[in-house]
Structure 1
Amino acid sequence: MQDLSRHPTPPTDTEWADRLAATSFFNALLRETDHWWSERHDGDETVVIALTKTRDVCLHLRLQHRSLSGRCRIVLPLMHVTPEVRQAISFEQAVEALLDSPWLSEHPLVGMLDDARRDTFVKSVMGSRDTIAAALAGRDDLDHLIRGPLGFLEAEQGLLVGHDFHPAPKSQAPFDQTQAKIYTPEHRAGFSLVWWGVSPARAAGDSSRELPAAALMHDLMPEALAEQLPVGYSALPMHPWQARFLQERDDIAALIDAGELRVLGEEAIDGDDARRWYPTSSHRSLYCPQADWMVKGSLSARLTNSLRVLHDDEVMRGLRLDRWWPQVSDDIRAYFHLMQEPAWLGWKHDDGEIDEASLALLRENRVADAGAPSVVLATLTQPLGEMGQTLLANGVRRLAELDRISEREAALVWFDAFCERVLSPLIRLVVEEGIVLLAHQQNIVVRLERERPVGVDYRDCQGSGVTDHFLARHPGEIVSRDHRITMAMLKRYFPYYVIVNSTLAVTAALGEAGLVDERELVAHLRAHLETLSEQCRDGDTTLLDHLLSSPVLEVKSNFFCYLAGINESTLDDPAKIYLDMPNPLLSDTSTP
């Protein structure tokens, strides 16, 4: 096995992509099932997964490391073991063998697996593996991605592995390989926006600023295209793939023929107006260093668990947050910056319903310098190199050298700063303000100075809500039902996104690197939450009480959600794709 961290020439063989893909796949599977057990031989840990009810046929996975949250480092090959023979099998063969096991189809989310669902799942899992392989083969900066330091755009387009706990973390349906190279961040894509004109009768939009949405969009439009916009029409920016996708719809073609929609064309790539827009780690959020706004639009592509189409209720959340944010206490906003989304635009059908595939919103661009040391958390923690080699771990090693302290001390300094500058504002917003931001790793952009966190730029107002505490503090505020979060929802979603998905990814990366015992980090986390609980007694401490005392936290069932083909974003009851995991914050699991 090649040590990626020591070889500037990236490996292009399938084995490396298999290892990365298999790690995310089995992280999810082991978290969500109990049909396995662990064995230790000569210090090595092997996970044994039963493939039959009699347990006479099993899959063996050798682990280099397993974190408190279940994030593993898997060593290939995978072994298929029967009473007669023990043999190495490929990742794809292992996936096929698992789908033949009787207990997989007994899961309540899945039911009986038909051939179509089975084939779709296998193709998606292996397609995700192929995406990782293509990204590895196409990059000449893998050593830099692991060692760093990285700027904002490098980090956004350096997330090659994807979700730590997902069977197909880099699935990109319906992009083919050619389209992936043109449109996806892992291939360092950069392209021109396509601008449309929307007639007054069709335009739908709103703004929380003094200028209406159409005016804000128009200000972003290059002058050469603005000259082509008919009087009274609204300017609408769009991802080029989405623009082509929509033009293939018969109803859109009819509106274009009728002149109610105008496809004005792509921005110029040469001349004074030239700009390139870069897909960030979320694919559909586009960044241009020269623009005051980022553009997030609908993308009718299924990435991980959801079709990435904006919904009309979602885009309104950004407008509300923009209005509420000035009322948030200054000491929260001192380090925590919310990338506001104050305007959205699209078009509507004949019946007045908004065509959600057309929606685009403007997001504040707080990073005018693409090389700024503002790094998305998911790239900081991704396990791209060999064990112990992550961007985060190597940054902590540099911090130790800068401050002339031990690596253990540097890891604690980094994590305590993360708790203070990133985690604390997210929790205080809930407890003191009643504002909930469901911050997962790809929504947290960590601002770094001297290799340590000094603040955060948070993005994605869609993943937000308010509790009864907010409504009690603002009795005259009108909030739609979809933007309200009950205590049951808060206890389910916030711990998963902010603690398990984000914070424990930090402890996992630092612990795996051997910089510090992960249990010591979790003890620091608990102490930090206890201090917050004492300081915030005037607020609603339900969340903190739950984090500190509940024996379990809920986590998303990504494996079975994906296997069942569920579109997470349109579920009537998202609770059914969550399950319990032991709470790592309890003292009996966090004492070094």
Structure 2
Amino acid sequence: MCRTVAERTLVAELDTVRPASTTAYVTALPDARAAVLTRLWRGLVHEPLPWITARTTDREGVTLRLADGRSLRGPLSDPWATAATVTGLDLDGALFDHPAELLAALAVPRGGAFATELDHSVASLALSRTAPRPPVPSASRPWEWEQGTTDGHPYHPGCRSRPGFSAAEQLAYAPEHRPVVSLRLAVVEGAQVSGAWPRELRDGRSVLIPVHPWQARHVLSGLPMGPGPAAHPLLSLRTLDTGGDMHVKTALSTRLTSTVRDISAYGVTHAVATSDFVERLVRRLDGRLHIARTWAAAGAGSADLAAILRRPPHVHADAAAGEKVVPVAALPALLGPCEPGERLDRSVEFARLALGVCLDLLDLGVALEAHGQNLLAVIDARGRARRLVYRDLADIRISPARLARHGVPAPPVSGRLLNDDPAALRDKVLGSLVTGALGPLAGDAPTLGAILEAATRDLAPTPDLHALRTQPLPAKALTLMRLDPKGGNDLWTRLPNPLTYG
């Protein structure tokens, strides 16, 4: 039964464009509500929200005391769990099983806008779960490894919020539905270009900038455009595989999860120099990490019209030897058929590789945002992680001071990419790798603790490793960020470290 505005709107559209999926969609709604409600409850229990004045935990659950005197009660919340376990929360005697309805009832500052996002998240998540199971990915179709994940961010309550996307547009553009997307090409004179923009994307002195069709219709509708290449959407939706040796990151001026996915002029200017620098630096890591190289970027002076071209991650796999490149977000599904002991062993192998690479690179002076979308694993024919690939360097941080300690000159970049604050650098790495990759791979705190204990046992001792093993772990305060009146800033919480409790 559809209860909210987003649910009713989406089902009405689905009745028109794909009526055969309507029953599956309505059937998926209760579990989608529970999945988003579980993520929201995690944020309410573990983030520093100013209108929660006290938290009390007993054997049966957690009670939150609100600033207005009311109380909200729910089950115990494992901050590292990924299963949907919350089916209802009690707000002063009233039971809520829909996250959007709960947010509206809480009546907190900016809660109305966030409730709308949660409504979209539930509705879109239910639609994502109607997608048919993907085929076994083929070496000739490497994008298929990106298209089997339906649920989005494992901890974000806005995991599937896609405002502005109709049911037809989600079916046409979202990777889990495995569409072929026809990009558009905007003709731009006097474009800002970095790197070697390819000849096939030029028209005389003009630059042809690939544009996502959603962007072309909703944001750049008055701009003349021609047809572009057919492409397959990847895990990030706005980044697409055009076949051959090119991935295209497009601007998409809508808020997916937390962020408006445009491409700033700063990003265009710094993309190639950053990629070249990091690619040279990772040669010190003995082949454990490859960079999906950014080789060109172009923009038209607006964050709404820009594109970045990258080499595909799969070029770093030996297909003849049975290797494949898999986004870390897809690893839980890949390891699903394993026996529990084998699954743990493989998770430890991956964690040891990922932590070793990211902490070694951090010691050198580069903090990767190594979550499940940016970080990929090269998996051998036996299903074991052998090397890593990293893509999308837009949100890394570079420490000139740490680089200097290793005799490495700072790259020719400026602005927000540069940061020497040890805490900020550590938060960037641990807050993405543990929360965005290892936590979801583990699925709960005890398993994560076992993985971290085994994976860190023999790593080189550094202050960053010591912090990982002994301190509460940083994680983005995803609910707080969506309720922050300033918006757009990274805000942090500290989660219980499974190595130091229970």
* TM-score normalised by length of structure 2: 0.82
Q: Quick one: structure 1 residues 76 and 524, their matched pair in 2 at CA, closer, same or farther if it must change by over 3 Å?
A: closer
Q: CA deviation at 1:277?
A: 0.7
User: What corresponds to 2:240 in structure 1?
Assistant: 286
Q: Which residue identity lines up with residue 206 of structure 1 in the other structure?
A: S
Residue 209 (structure 2) pairs with residue 195 (structure 1): no
Q: Quick one: structure 1 residues 359 and 436, their matched pair in 2 at CA, closer, same or farther if it must change by over 3 Å?
A: same
Q: Quick one: structure 1 residues 506 and 475, their matched pair in 2 at CA, closer, same or farther if it must change by over 3 Å?
A: same
Flag the structure with larger Rg.
1
Q: CA deviation at 1:237?
A: 1.5
User: What corresponds to 1:119 in structure 2?
Assistant: 112
- How far, CA to CA, are the matches of 1:292 and 1:93 in structure 2? 42
Which structure 2 residues correspond to residues 148-297 of structure 1 after superposition, within 5 A? 152-199=142-189, 202-207=190-195, 212-213=196-197, 216=198, 218-219=199-200, 221=201, 229=203, 231-248=204-221, 253=222, 263=225, 265-267=226-228, 276-288=230-242, 290-297=243-250
* TM-score normalised by length of structure 1: 0.71
Residue 437 (structure 2) pairs with residue 502 (structure 1): yes
Residue 331 (structure 2) pairs with residue 380 (structure 1): yes
- How far, CA to CA, are the matches of 1:476 and 1:441 in structure 2? 28
Q: Which residue identity lines up with residue 357 of structure 1 in the other structure?
A: D
Query: 1:20 is matched with which residue: 23, 35, 42?
Result: 35
Which structure 2 residues correspond to residues 137-536 of structure 1 after superposition, within 5 A? 137=130, 139-141=131-133, 152-199=142-189, 202-207=190-195, 212-213=196-197, 216=198, 218-219=199-200, 221=201, 229=203, 231-248=204-221, 253=222, 263=225, 265-267=226-228, 276-288=230-242, 290-325=243-278, 327-328=280-281, 330=283, 332=285, 334-347=287-300, 354-367=301-314, 373-381=324-332, 391-397=333-339, 407-408=340-341, 410-431=342-363, 433-449=364-380, 450-467=382-399, 468-472=401-405, 473-475=407-409, 477-486=411-420, 487-508=422-443, 517-528=447-458, 531-533=459-461
Given that 2:282 and 2:289 are in contact with CA atoms closer than 8 Å, whether structure 1 keeps it comes out as no
Q: CA deviation at 1:395?
A: 4.2
- How far, CA to CA, are the matches of 1:445 and 1:246 in structure 2? 32
Q: CA deviation at 1:330?
A: 4.1
Q: CA deviation at 1:173?
A: 1.6
User: What corresponds to 2:12 in structure 1?
Assistant: none
In the alignment of these two chains, the number of paired residues is 466
Summarize deviations over 1:137-158 as a string: whole Å, max 9, x none.
2x2218x79xx99984334222
Summarize deviations over 1:503-538 as a string: whole Å, max 9, x none.
2322336x78xxxx543223213414xx322xxxxx
Q: CA deviation at 1:172?
A: 0.8
- How far, CA to CA, are the matches of 2:282 and 2:95 in structure 1? 58
Query: 2:497 is matched with which residue: 583, 587, 592?
Result: 583
- How far, CA to CA, are the matches of 1:532 and 1:346 in structure 2? 42
User: What corresponds to 1:110 in structure 2?
Assistant: none
- How far, CA to CA, are the matches of 2:494 and 2:115 in structure 1? 26
Q: Which residue identity lines up with residue 330 of structure 2 in the other structure?
A: T
- How far, CA to CA, are the matches of 2:486 and 2:334 in structure 1? 33
Q: Quick one: structure 1 residues 92 and 506, their matched pair in 2 at CA, closer, same or farther if it must change by over 3 Å?
A: closer
User: What corresponds to 1:59 in structure 2?
Assistant: 73
Summarize deviations over 1:464-506 as a string: whole Å, max 9, x none.
2221121452347433132212223213322211223322322
- How far, CA to CA, are the matches of 1:13 and 1:419 in structure 2? 33
Q: Which residue identity lines up with residue 450 of structure 2 in the other structure?
A: E
Query: 1:91 is matched with which residue: 87, 98, 105?
Result: 98
Given that 1:305 and 1:566 are in contact with CA atoms closer than 8 Å, whether structure 2 keeps it comes out as no
> 5+ unaligned residues in a row in structure 2: which ranges?
1-22
Q: Quick one: structure 1 residues 567 and 175, their matched pair in 2 at CA, closer, same or farther if it must change by over 3 Å?
A: farther
Q: Which residue identity lines up with residue 485 of structure 1 in the other structure?
A: N
Summarize deviations over 1:307-352 as a string: whole Å, max 9, x none.
11112222344322333245436462513111011211122xxxxx
Q: Quick one: structure 1 residues 280 and 326, their matched pair in 2 at CA, closer, same or farther if it must change by over 3 Å?
A: closer
Summarize deviations over 1:237-267 as a string: whole Å, max 9, x none.
221222233433xxxx4xx6xxxxx52x113
Q: Quick one: structure 1 residues 29 and 166, their matched pair in 2 at CA, closer, same or farther if it must change by over 3 Å?
A: farther
Identity of aligned residues (%): 22
Greater Cα shift, 21-30 or 90-99: 90-99
Residue 64 (structure 2) pairs with residue 130 (structure 1): no
Q: Which residue identity lines up with residue 191 of structure 2 in the other structure?
A: A
User: What corresponds to 1:29 in structure 2?
Assistant: 44
Q: Which residue identity lines up with residue 507 of structure 1 in the other structure?
A: A
SS in structure 2 opposite 1:206?
strand
Q: CA deviation at 1:295?
A: 0.4
> 5+ unaligned residues in a row in structure 1: which ranges?
1-8, 106-112, 257-261, 268-274, 348-353, 382-390, 398-406, 534-540
Summarize deviations over 1:393-418 as a string: whole Å, max 9, x none.
51433xxxxxxxxx32x234212321
- How far, CA to CA, are the matches of 2:33 and 2:368 in structure 1? 34
Q: Quick one: structure 1 residues 306 and 395, their matched pair in 2 at CA, closer, same or farther if it must change by over 3 Å?
A: same
- How far, CA to CA, are the matches of 1:298 and 1:39 in structure 2? 47
Residue 473 (structure 2) pairs with residue 553 (structure 1): yes
Q: Which residue identity lines up with residue 396 of structure 1 in the other structure?
A: C
Residue 483 (structure 2) pairs with residue 563 (structure 1): yes
Which structure 2 residues correspond to residues 72-111 of structure 1 after superposition, within 5 A? 73-75=83-85, 77-80=87-90, 82=92, 88-92=95-99, 95-96=102-103, 99-100=106-107, 105=108
Q: Quick one: structure 1 residues 461 and 92, their matched pair in 2 at CA, closer, same or farther if it must change by over 3 Å?
A: closer
Q: CA deviation at 1:206?
A: 1.0
Q: Which residue identity lines up with residue 90 of structure 2 in the other structure?
A: H
